[in-house]
Amino acid sequence: MANPLRAEVVRLYKNLLYLGREYPKGADYFRDRLRAAFTKNKSVQDPEQIKAMIARGEYVARELEALYYLRKYRALKKRYYEE
């Protein structure tokens, strides 16, 4: 893997690992899936392909954040408003 992209990949991995702590199916499930995904693609050498994978990982991170915000919003709404 190219050195400039390695730092981005490690940052993305750490960020996803942090976000996975609150995953609905459990942190262990998320960590195993995350490790498997990164291990599967560890032999990729093409910088353009790596950048595309980083973009997909960042998309997944944004989706996880949206999932957590939605869950918190629904809990607050349920607590304070009658339906």
Domains of the chain: total: 1
pLDDT of residue 36 exceeding 60: yes
Q: How many residues belong to the chain? A: 83
Percent of the chain predicted with pLDDT > 90: 65
Split at pLDDT 50, 70, 90, the class of 83 is: low
Domain span holding position 42: 5-81
Residue among 45, 46, 43, 20 at smallest CA distance from 33:
20
Return all residues near 31 (Cβ < 8 A) that are at least 6 apart.
17, 20
Average model confidence (pLDDT) for the chain?
Answer: 90
Split at pLDDT 50, 70, 90, the class of 61 is: very high
Q: What is the pLDDT of residue 59?
A: 97
Q: Where are the alpha helices (DSSP H) in 20-46?
A: 27-40
Against a cut of 0.85, is the pTM above it? no
